[in-house]
Chains A and B, each alone.
Chain A
Amino acid sequence: MFGAFRFTNPLSGGLLWKTPWRLSRFQKTRQRRRLRAVDSVVATVDAALAKQGQTLAALDTWKETMPTEDKYTIFDRKEKRYRKGIHSMFLPFTDSDICV
């Protein structure tokens, strides 16, 4: 239905304040874009230092520990198996571990 009497979740059930368990298509697109931006910064720094023949401990750590596939979960010490979905980052009152 349309207009004021359409059956959306908040209207039919009253207060609805839930965070979906997965990212929407657009959230995921933006998140991927942000992740790619960070990757490009690291790649630029790495290439520039390699040209000078220099190394950096932070870059080695990044290459060792940064997951290439499982980028959409973040570390959380309270979570089972220590990983939680990245959407939890958007909750206002959680400390987001992905933050710098």
Chain B
Amino acid sequence: MSASYFRITLHRSAIGLPERTRGALAALGLRKRSQTVFHPVEPQFAGMIMKVKELVRVQEVDRPLSPRELREERRPERGFWLEKAVPR
């Protein structure tokens, strides 16, 4: 069985939510919106995700990405496209 991971991104803020809900986020290591963390697929982490299921987006991935790889994902492609060639 190959190990798989939850890729968890905090999508909605936990401002104004109960202490226990914010505790679940803290336990997952999510501090601010659009922060992404990786946790192994285990009932323990699945339970934490279920606690904050309204706030996060979850994917199942094969391996955790490093911060550098996450940053590379966000980087826009270099250069530009010509939508329509301008007649000269």
Residues of chain A touching chain B, judged by Cβ–Cβ distance below 8 Å, are 34, 37-38, 41-42, 44-45, 47-49, 51-52, 54-59, 62, 99-100
Interface of A is mostly: helix
Q: Decide: B50 and A54 in contact? CB cutoff 8 A.
A: no
Interface residues in B1-55 (C-beta closer than 8 Å to A): 1, 4, 6, 11, 17-18, 21, 41-43, 46-47, 49-55
Q: Decide: A45 and B6 in contact? CB cutoff 8 A.
A: yes
Cα separation A35 to B56 with both chains bound (whole Å): 12
- Per the CB 8 Å criterion, the residue count for chain B at the interface is 24
Cα separation A39 to B52 with both chains bound (whole Å): 12
Cα separation A41 to B52 with both chains bound (whole Å): 10
Interface of B is mostly: mixed
Residues of chain B touching chain A, judged by Cβ–Cβ distance below 8 Å, are 1, 4, 6, 11, 17-18, 21, 41-43, 46-47, 49-60
Q: Decide: A41 and B49 in contact? CB cutoff 8 A.
A: yes
Q: Decide: B17 and A52 in contact? CB cutoff 8 A.
A: no
Residues of B within 8 A of A52 (CB): 1, 4, 41-42
Q: Decide: A100 and B4 in contact? CB cutoff 8 A.
A: no
Cα separation A49 to B50 with both chains bound (whole Å): 12
Nearest B residue to A58 via CB reads: B50
Contacts A44-B59, A48-B6, A48-B41; A62 near B1 (Cβ below 8 A): no
Q: Decide: A45 and B54 in contact? CB cutoff 8 A.
A: no
Q: Decide: A100 and B21 in contact? CB cutoff 8 A.
A: yes
